[in-house]
A = this chain, B = another copy of it.
Amino acid sequence: MNLKSVGEFGFIKRISQGCLIRPQHILKGIGDDAAAFASEPGQITLLTTDLLVERIHFLRNATSGYNLGYKSLAVNLSDIAAMGGTAREAFVSIAIPEECETDYLEDLYKGMKHLAAEFDVNILGGDTTGSKADLIINIALTGIAPREEILYRHTARAGDRICSTGFLGDSRAGLHLILNDIATESDEFGQLSDAHLLPRPCLREGRFLARQDGVHAAIDVSDGLSSDLGHIAKQSRVGVRLYAEKIPVSKNLKAFCASFNSDPLEYAIAGGEDYTLLCTISPDKADAVSENYLREFGRPLYLIGEVTVSERMELIWPDGQIKPITSSGWDHFVETGLGNRVF
């Protein structure tokens, strides 16, 4: 069955089920000219939006509807996490090619709704239309945070320790497996593939870090460690020094790199789409934050480097050698030829 037989309003009716999971403070969700909801006293509103385009960000035949819906929302949730916020209301715009099956679309909304429910997010509205070529999804997502706890990119200070909430590079390795149609039946390869397809937005981690004393700046790893730290460096007018042996690399990525004769560090630094958080912490508070983090999550907060005054980005090898690094991330136009993320 395709959309022509269901119609726009029929489709909206079908997908509206299960969208409102936190009805408090919602005056109007799907079905009017705009959604209406009460803003929360004493809280700042956060808003992020991500546009996903077929053949740029994903290949429809290489991803299930469920995974596409899940990840479309996950990338937005990750942006709210990187601000230290709590996610609230999602608005889903979708442009649907005529031949796209409703089964695929219902699966897509299923993936989105599962993740939304897990993080207490309402799907409050959006827009549905046709498309002549590609499937297009735009999600706008609001969040909230207390004014004093918001984590920005421009507030890192020289001397801050740089930390990551998780492993880096797994997602890029998973992408390699998916694009080259390499079997992911082994646990190791399966987990790499999942890291790419079903990344966990670090909302709890972001909120936790935002409440800790001494955490100054944060960003999520979407374009890649070097590119995303580059944003913090540029906006904070500081430099970055990373320690090669401290960058957290999973045993899965090591196994992958052993199989494919490649360098885990390259995947970790330039990979992208890990959706872990990077943060900078005042040097006198870094130990306390790390201990609190370990106690809260049962996982370490990985210390990977320091913020410097130099405005350069550099990587220190265990032998003391210094290698300059660049923001060689995922500029959609120049470096990768209009983008090449695929999930």
Interface residues of A (CB under 8 A from B): 3-11, 27-28, 31-41, 43-51, 53-57, 78-80, 82-83, 85, 89, 91, 93-96, 98, 124-134, 136, 138, 140, 142-143, 145, 147, 150, 152-154, 219-220, 235, 331-335, 337-339
Residues of chain B lying within 8 A (CB to CB) of residue A332: 8, 128-130
Residues of chain B lying within 8 A (CB to CB) of residue A333: 3-4, 6-8, 11, 96, 130
Please list 26 pairs of residues, one from A and one from B, whose beta carbons are closer than 8 Å in the complex, sorted by A's number.
Answer: A7-B333, A11-B333, A27-B150, A28-B150, A32-B83, A33-B220, A34-B79, A34-B83, A34-B85, A35-B46, A35-B48, A38-B44, A47-B89, A49-B91, A49-B126, A49-B138, A53-B95, A54-B132, A56-B129, A95-B136, A129-B332, A129-B339, A130-B333, A130-B339, A131-B338, A133-B133
The residue that A39 contacts in the complex, of B39, B80, B154, with Cβ under 8 A, is B39
Nearest 4 A/B pairs, CB to CB: A39-B39, A130-B338, A140-B140, A34-B48
Residues of chain B lying within 8 A (CB to CB) of residue A91: 47, 49, 140
Among residues of B, the one whose C-beta sits closest to the C-beta of A340 is: B130
Number of this chain's copies in the assembly equals 2
* A27-B44, A130-B339 known; A53-B136 Cβ under 8 A: yes
Residues of chain B lying within 8 A (CB to CB) of residue A219: 33
Q: Are A50 and B130 in contact (CB under 8 A)?
A: no
Q: Are A129 and B53 in contact (CB under 8 A)?
A: yes
A38 vs B39: C-alpha distance when bound (angstroms): 9
Interface centre among A46, A56, A80 (most CB of B within 10 A): A46
Residues of chain B lying within 8 A (CB to CB) of residue A45: 36-39, 45, 142
Residues of chain B lying within 8 A (CB to CB) of residue A43: 39
A258 vs B284: C-alpha distance when bound (angstroms): 81
Q: Are B79 and A147 in contact (CB under 8 A)?
A: no
Q: Are A152 and B38 in contact (CB under 8 A)?
A: no
Q: Are B136 and A83 in contact (CB under 8 A)?
A: no
Residues of chain B lying within 8 A (CB to CB) of residue A39: 39-40, 43-45
The residue that A4 contacts in the complex, of B35, B44, B93, B337, with Cβ under 8 A, is B337
Interface centre among A54, A96, A140, A153 (most CB of B within 10 A): A140
